[in-house]
A = this chain, B = another copy of it.
Amino acid sequence: MNIGDVAQRSGLPAKTIRYYEEIGLIRPQRGENGYRRFREQDLHKLAFLGRARALGFTIEDCRTLIALYEDESRESGQVKRVAEEHLHQIDDKIAQLQSMRTTLGHLIHACAGDHRPDCPILEDLAKDVPEEAASASEGVR
């Protein structure tokens, strides 16, 4: 199989597959013409990667998960730990986004959205800076 075939069958762009080789996630063989030659096991691994990425696992997580997958003596607790860690990060992100969503929703609701210049959204963004410089108010990054 050439890269175009695996791209189609795995659903991953050829560019991404080359990138995965570059960072050592896969090691396809090479033909005499220099073309990558993929075997079924490569395709399998790419599909694994595609699904893990679709669940939001980082590339490093994927590396770990593949290593565990190939390790006969793994303990499912190891896998579960990685997944739970990731779940927590997803939850954090959702919470952060929902907080933004709430605030933004209120502001949008309060804004007439007409031809006049008065706008609660801008007014909120331009609120005065609290004068207590010393006390720390930690923002989002």
Contact = CB atoms under 8 A, between A and B. Distances in A.
A47 B129 CA distance: 7
Identify whether the interface residues of A are mostly helix, strand, loop, or mixed: helix
A86 B104 contact: yes
**Chain A residues touching B, range:** 35 or more
Contacts of A86: 104
Interface in A1-57: 5, 8-12, 43-44, 47-48, 50-56
A67 B84 CA distance: 43
A80 B111 CA distance: 7
A124 B10 CA distance: 15
Contacts of A105: 87
B117 A72 contact: yes
Given A114-B76, A122-B65, A93 B97 contact: yes
Nearest to A7: B133
A90 B80 contact: no
Given A75-B115, A108-B83, A121-B79, A133 B97 contact: no
A3 to B, nearest CB: 14
8 contacts: A8-B133, A44-B126, A51-B125, A76-B115, A80-B113, A81-B113, A90-B100, A94-B94
